[in-house]
Amino acid sequence: MLAEYSVDYASARGRFRAAARAAGARGLALALDARGPGDTDLTIDIAWLGAGRPRRVVLHTSGIHGVEAFHGSAIQLHLLARPPQLAADSALVLVHALNPFGMAWLRRANENNVDLNRNFLLPGEAYSGAPDHYAALDPLLNPPSAPGFDLFLPRVALRILRHGFQPLKQAIAGGQYAFPQGLFFGGTRLEQGPALYLDWLRKHLAGTAYVLALDAHSGLGRFGEQLLIEEPAACATDPARLGAALGHSIATQRSDDAYVVRGGYGAALAHALAGTAVDFVTQEIGTRAPLAIIQALREENRAHHHCDGGGIAHPAKRRLLEALSPAAPQWRAKALSAGVELVRRAVAFCNDS
């Protein structure tokens, strides 16, 4: 099963497109203006299996956080090679690399340093502000210098002792709109990729009775273990019932393992598909301890801003890749198996609904 993992964005996209053609899927590419290494073009690729006008859809997305895309891409390749049986009025839609720039350049953020899962603010919400704790932590989180040893972990540990881990985690990761070069920056407007994707959703899924959306992530939780998190704004099915169907309990954003996200993709999807019953579930596959991931994100961000873009081979990028897509075969096997099983269970749930 590990053969589905690709070495870089270009090969992952090429394999996805080839697998979609071989599976007889209808394909589409949403082209972005940003460029990848070697001036490679960047696209959000979509493969559609099943009914052309479905009543029920399983929508699987990978790579909203760029560098996290590799296991989600592997899941999608596996599914295209061995598609699940769909009911006559159902469809499986696979969306490859919602943030192709981040996947190509081994960044969590996109070409404008925007965390796309903080960028989907709803109409009337302002792209402004930052949590108080984030503002106070910005000099520590986003130092204006190249990567280097600066006692980050002891310094942040002191902050945790003073304020508590959960409040700081929420303040850091929930989303901020005041520090453009900082971590978890939500942007100043809806970015090109999200805008194109939402427009595509409205055109192709509007009128569908039910959408079960699964968004593949990595990082949060215990090493190799999955964590399913509900989106409160897209929770058409009782979480206990849905969790039983998916084979795993579903946590809320306010659980100890998670945090509440501002400008998240799940709420925007539900808003874009008003009139459709939507369940949105984030699947996290755990990798490293939270502070280790923050440190890896911090060092890559410093390299990007203060080392002439960092370059794809910069050590900080390779460390971030390992932090969010570990090379360990046991992790990759568990991530792939959990992702494929989740989609198959989601399809079975839709078939029986």
Question: What secondary structure does DSSP assign to 309-348, as a single string?
Answer: T--TT-HHHHHHHHHHS---HHHHHHHHHHHHHHHHHHHH
Q: First vs last Cα of the chain: how many Å apart?
A: 30
What gap in Å lies between CA 164 and CA 168, rounded to an integer?
7
278-297: average pLDDT: 96
15-20: average pLDDT: 98
Confidence band, pLDDT 50/70/90 cuts, at residue 353 = confident
What gap in Å lies between CA 327 and CA 5, rounded to an integer?
10
Instruction: Give the residue ranges of DSSP H helices in the chain.
Output: 9-22, 69-81, 100-105, 132-141, 152-163, 165-173, 192-205, 239-246, 265-272, 290-306, 315-324, 329-352
Model confidence pTM above 0.95: yes
Q: What b-and-e string marks burial along 254-268, b requiring 16 or more CB atoms within 10 Å of the CB? A: eeebbbebbbbbbbb
What gap in Å lies between CA 279 and CA 273, rounded to an integer?
11
What gap in Å lies between CA 308 and CA 109, rounded to an integer?
16
- Per-domain residue ranges of the chain: 2-131+168-352
- Does the pLDDT at position 254 exceed 80? no
Structure confidence at residue 168 (pLDDT): 87
217-239: average pLDDT: 96
Q: Token pair of 8, please?
A: 């870089």
Assigned CATH topology for domain 2-131+168-352: Aminopeptidase (3.40.630)
Q: Using CA of residue 321, residue 141, residue 225, residue 103, what is the dihedral sign?
A: negative
- Does the pLDDT at position 154 exceed 70? yes
77-82: average pLDDT: 98
Q: What percent of the chain has pLDDT over 70?
A: 98
CB 350 within 8 A of CB 57: yes
Structure confidence at residue 242 (pLDDT): 97
Could you read off the pLDDT of 121-151 as tens digits, one per residue?
999 999 999 998 899 999 999 999 999 889 9
SS3 (DSSP) at 45: strand
Structure confidence at residue 60 (pLDDT): 98
SS3 (DSSP) at 172: helix
270-277: average pLDDT: 96
Structure confidence at residue 163 (pLDDT): 85
